[in-house]
Structure 1
Amino acid sequence: MPQTAQCQPSPTLNSLWSLGEFEGAQHYSIGTRFRIPAEESNTPLDEILVKRNLSALFQPILDMSSGELIGFEGLIRGPANSPLHSPANLFSAAKQQGRMLEVEMLCRQIVLEQFAQLRLPGKLFLNVSPDALTHPSFKNGQTLEFMKKIGISPEHVIIEITENQPIFDFEAVRNALLHYRQMGFKIAMDDLGEGFSSLRLWSELRPEFVKIDMHFVQGVNTDPLKLQFLKSIQQIAESCGTQVIAEGVETEAELRTIRDIGIAMGQGYFIARPSPTPPLVAPPEASLVLNSARTAGYPKNAFLANRSVTAHKLLVYVEPVTPETDNDSIFICFGENPGLDSLPVVKHGKPVGLINRHAFIDCFAQPYRRELLGKKPCSQLMFTKPLLVERSTPVQELSQFLTESEGRHFADGFIITEEGRYLGVGTGQGLLRVITQMQIEAARYANPLTMLPGNVPINEHIERLLESGEPFYACYCDLDNFKPFNDVYGYRKGDEMIQMTGRILHWSCDPKLDFLGHIGGDDFILILQSTDWQKRCDGALQSFAELSTSLASDQHRWCGGYESEDRQGRVVFNTLPTLSIGAVYIDPEQFASHHDVSAATARAKKMAKQIHGNSLFVEQRKPHQPE
């Protein structure tokens, strides 16, 4: 093992990522030219650090609305023709030798220098790990001074948080990022959907950019679940002012689909590959897609294509009246139709007003009003500025508009038109009914807490596997003692426990072979075709045992549990939550449908829960063999 090297400051470069002054911090020179005595430079990594033998690549990021390249992500490569050329191998070696910080800081220094030398326009997306972000050695102002020397201002740099390890100290990461934002940097979350805690950090920090992991982008034009995931993320982003970047765009169909969803930016091989000298304009193929009026073909049975549900679904035809219709006739019409809340007033096919039932009858109920106004035209009592809604308007946009506008539009209803001509009316009650149905349908397809597939995709996936004739393992995963944990720590901690379980199970899957679904609550289903399925289940149990206790207090961890009241009001001791997995070998010849699979896995889960602690029970009996 080489001895620890002494870092000698460069005469021209200061510490790279020393962005904040932390109390009690020890000075640690990072991002300098590393000097190691020749006799100690006996590993490839040492040689890289001595000679700064790294190179930067830049991958463009495309603005979907303007068609321009708004910036570049800085990537790193090791020496050519070397095992450490790959970033994965480079950082793996650095981790094994305990030199992650040194390598990471040098990587960023190289990226910044080459970005400045190339004079690339737009923003630089610079990868930063949580460890480097919160390292106590940072010293205020040194990075700004360094960037000033090479001609880069903080406004041109996006700190992109990479998640290659769990984030336990959210407060420290959040405070560090807020500090950098005050200095002029912007923030991006990387690989949303793949990392450990992006969703929580997103909700607490509200970054300017969120990058969606390529797993959810590639094949989105043929995968309904991925489509719904991207649409949901886009809706969340719109509500909190975040711009979404779709990573891994590799085909024309993928680019067209994310464009139609409304995602702000894209990045991937179809736009441009990483290069030492990247292009400064978008390729013609991408520009052609962005400038095309053609809409992407969504997957068949694309459940929850919520934006395709339009105001036409709310349409109820009501025979309109003309502005010359007398008020007595309007009064008779309301009397003969108790369920009629409003009457549209139309002239030459164009809506000109709306008569609200309650306002009209209240007026007529006043002394002498009917005698005075009965023979007058209804145009004197109609509301002349009704809400006109085109039939193609998505109901979600309509709902948002009604929420933000004056209340009478919701109470009176609205007139639905096509190219300005009267079609019928819609009501606020009808809109609420449709929105509620959409939300219920959404819960069936994607669990809103974990964004994992819900019951319908789970059943469809099982049916597809049964039809294929290929055997697989179905594993029912359930948390033990979750209710007492939820009672003691509250629903927010309970949600964190469920989300963490989902992430752990996700890590255990091979995305090319396996499927993870969230049945609801603390119940999950794993559909495994991997040959090492049992090793994956054991790994999930081990990870849960190691990580789940981080959500409990020190006292409860030390005791192994806590006291709480049971349903009979008795004080009992409950151990910390554990994970039980019941696994069943599914032979398509033995199982007729997903109902049979569900029943078999439920029995296996029941057996697993009878085993103390984190446990895996594998059902060995045949489906119809008695216990």
Structure 2
Amino acid sequence: MLNEKWQTLIDVADFAFQPIVNIYTGKLYAVEALIRNYEPAGFTTIDCVFDSAYSEKTLYSIDVKLREKAIHKFSLLPFSKHIKLFYNLDNRITMMPDFKSGYTCELLSTYEMDTSNICFELSEKHQVGMYAGVDKLVLNLYKQQGYKMAIDDFGVGFSGLQMLFNADPNFIKIDRFFICDIHLSKKKKLFVSSIVQIAQAMGIFTIAEGVECEEEYNECKKLGCNMVQGYFVQKPTLDVTQIVMSYEHLKLVDQSDKRKNGKIANIEKYLQKSSTVFMDSPINDVYEVLKGDKKNHFVPVLARDQTPLGIIRDADIKAYLYSNYGKALLYNLTQGSLKKIIAHCGRADINDPIEKILKIYAFDDDNDAILITENEKYLGYLSSKVLLDIVNEKNIVDAKDQNPLTGLSGNRIINEFVANAMDSKEKVMMAYFDFDNFKPFNDYYGFRKGDRAITLFADILKSSVGFDECLVGHVGGDDFFLGWSLKEEDSFEKVYAIVLEIVTKFSEDIKSFYCEQGLSSGYIMAKNRDGVIQQFPLMTVSAAVICHGFGYQHDFDDNELNEIFGVLKKSAKASSTHIACVDLGVIKDAI
């Protein structure tokens, strides 16, 4: 029975929700529940609430009541089953005399929700002294029940790295101290970049907390953070109707960022200017432009509405200038129009991704440059030398995003591929690969052999992809990604055969990593997650494959895709082929 003070708190306390969104798409991934209106119960701070409850040994009882209020309010969101609720959990609850597990599962069932809808956040606040090690107990306890787990305020506590090493969370929330004015601090960029790289190597998603301006948002995106939370997205709100599934202003920022900074290079920074001529200009204007700018070997030709039509190369008109007859011929050819001496030149919009611009340039060996437009109006051009500089910059940026163990593309490039695939009308297939029984193998033979197994699989992927338009990625740990942009004539069967070959080859090749006893018996003895010794079969790999664009086009948000991949992974692990496939069009039509 709670006393009057605590009952007052339960009666008057409320929760504000703050969105956590995908940093690349602006789509809602989760909301964090933040306790509000505790002052009428006599508390001055949130820490005071939980410290008092702990000292009075009512922490678990209070938390259960507050958790119930948060989940109830979360259920009022019309899309609550498709996103997650991040709930701050005081790790000292396990030390309470009345603590028991399983209550939240019962509570969720009344709202027809699953444990996967909830992510518990643990802070580094109580990781010293008598509380050390409690985090691992709490994380393992809740993860075994199917909840997602996050380390909150990462980077400012006493033992963050130790907690990360022991706890194996799903998310790291980078503390706002490192995010505040990060665009102005090289030291903060270094710290956040290091955190992201460690998380990426471990297959953990990163959330940037406290993002309050466009500059901080863009910097976090450049450094590879997966998600973002803060005032720049939306302030915490008590009104659930203010939470939306997509934050359009982030898309506008993304478009602006592509225009001003680019994903890889600042195109405006490289944009070159030159004098131009019009299609109906006299040939003498062309002579004057080439004479006035000796560094340029061509002149852009525009229509009167400023639309670029092509270029005139100085080499193409020099042959006419060596004789009076040639000059007269050129003059006759260009009477009223320069059309007969205009050469083709690649063209791109300034909002196009740099990858597209480079493809346009590479498509035609005769391209001298790429003419850049905005809303079809000529802005300038990128010369061959400048395009080579951009390729250089692209290679450097991509190298920074590579997984340090395998050298494969990391989460930033993978997330961009998936986001583009969902917006595209082209046929795309995506496969997530996940090792089966990797942890016992790693525990039994040691992490060095575990790393060798990971690099073995990376080599198999690189040698088996079979398409030019394919992304080979390493999500982190023992999770890998393959994404194919398919041509019209490419078939599902062709890609499936490649996936099957990968799965089969790894299952065969990994056998050489086992000792003679393990190989002959077909299993090893190792501890399970509960610390109990049991048999584990030889390692295999499972593949969850999604097809998009083979039929009708449908929109899927990140949470729906994650749910689909989660179901597919379970199906793949239970399948005799270790592969599970689905066509998104078929799923959407069935809903």
**TM range, normalised to the smaller chain?**
0.3 to 0.5
Q: So what's the TM-score if we normalise by structure 2?
A: 0.42
- Larger Cα Rg: Structure 1 or Structure 2? 1
Q: Relative CO higher for 1 or 2, CA cutoff 8 Å, sep ≥ 6? A: 2
Q: So what's the TM-score if we normalise by structure 1?
A: 0.40
